[in-house]
Amino acid sequence: MANVLRIAVVEPDDSNRENLKAVLLGLETVWLEAECSRYEFFVDVVEQTKPEISLIGMDADPAQATRLIGDVLAKCPDTTVLVSSRSTDGRLILESMRAGAKEFLTEPVKAEDLATAIQRIRRHTAGTKGSTERQGCNVIAVAGATGGVGASSIAVNLACALAADDQNSVVLADLDLALGDADVFLDTIPEYSLADVAQNVERLDLTLLKKSLTKHASGVHLLPRPMQLEDAQLITPDRLQRIFGLLKTSFTHIVVDLSKGYSPVDMAALRMADHILMVTQLDLPCLRNVVRLMVTFDDEPEIREKIRVVVNRVGQDSGQISLKKARETVGRDIYWQVPNDYRVMVEVRNNGVPLLEHAPKAGITLSIGQLADALCGKEPDSDDSSTKGRRWLNLWPAKS
């Protein structure tokens, strides 16, 4: 998916500014980084926040606003300037373009007009930056077919495996709002939680959000579940969307550990996800739940088509249902198999350390590491002898 672009707005007219904010908050491709009501302060705002887009409302003082375009570009040449006005005077449009504005929007700004302008800016930016442009943020939601299938274990260790790549920056969000334990897996005592962030979402900026995250030694940034049960009500789908919108501007991956309740907040996360890992085991209750969930998601094809079935604890005992029978039951291919290693997982959980640290060469660690690579679009190296030695685990998904 494309990057989320940060935008700073200056509009002295309160009514116009509120309209712009409402339009911006309805677009998932942008994040309102800063707003300003005075032209004379806007250059400082842009210098401090360095947004990709600067939007200037011109009607309060067209002459001063036109000069401001040049001042902003002189101090922050990497920003793209958009202007808005109720006027359709060709001279004003020409002067703003000559000053350096890339788009002229008619007030009141409509969402479709702004979205189209942003798409043009994005295409231009991608063309000038070429292959060095970061490919955006991938949201990976990890869901369980039932409780106890190891979804949280996979979510935490998948985040750590992704963070092991220096090119990735990873945040792990614990959406099991009542009983989440991602902080326990990583042996951390967070100072802030998802509830604190949601409570302050109206004044949230990147600096404040980063201060609210707990960084683990693995490189994973943790956004844990609320400390108090009653604080779960502070997290709403709308607030979660705003939080994720800002996280996308700074991280390459968001790994989301969902609850097993498929609450409105969980569903919002599923809609925002690029990949959904449905974790199950090779037993009848789990597989029946996968079928039930898939039937439920028939009404939301954008969710259903993103789901990839991950079978955990393969080889746990001889009484497991076969993979062939599992495929027939759920009606789709098994995307990934994670081998069973009860002893290692108990040690990992009790010691509060990720698999990469505790057992880097264990089969389960290698499997989750390869899962991370597959989700990043990396193909297995056929010349890698270590990969060849692991073929028996059948870790790579079959080509469709």
Share of the chain above pLDDT 70, in %: 91
- Please give the model's pTM, rounded to 2 decimal places: 0.72
- Residues 372 and 391: their CA atoms lie apart, in Å, by 17
Give tens-digit pLDDT for 144-164: 999 999 999 999 999 999 999
pLDDT tops 70 at residue 393: no
The highest-confidence range among 28-42, 86-100, 121-135, 262-276, by mean pLDDT, is 262-276
Mean pLDDT, the chain, whole residue set: 88
**Domains (range + CATH), the chain:** 5-132 (3.40.50.2300), 138-393 (3.40.50.300)
Q: Specify the DSSP class assigned to residue 147.
A: T
- Residues 107 and 330: their CA atoms lie apart, in Å, by 52
Give tens-digit pLDDT for 316-341: 776 789 999 999 999 999 999 999 99
Token readout for 295 is: 């039937």
How far from each other are the two terminal CA atoms of the chain, in whole angstroms?
22
According to DSSP, the β-strands at 214-215 and 170-174 are unpaired
- Residues 85 and 80: their CA atoms lie apart, in Å, by 17
pLDDT score at 381: 57
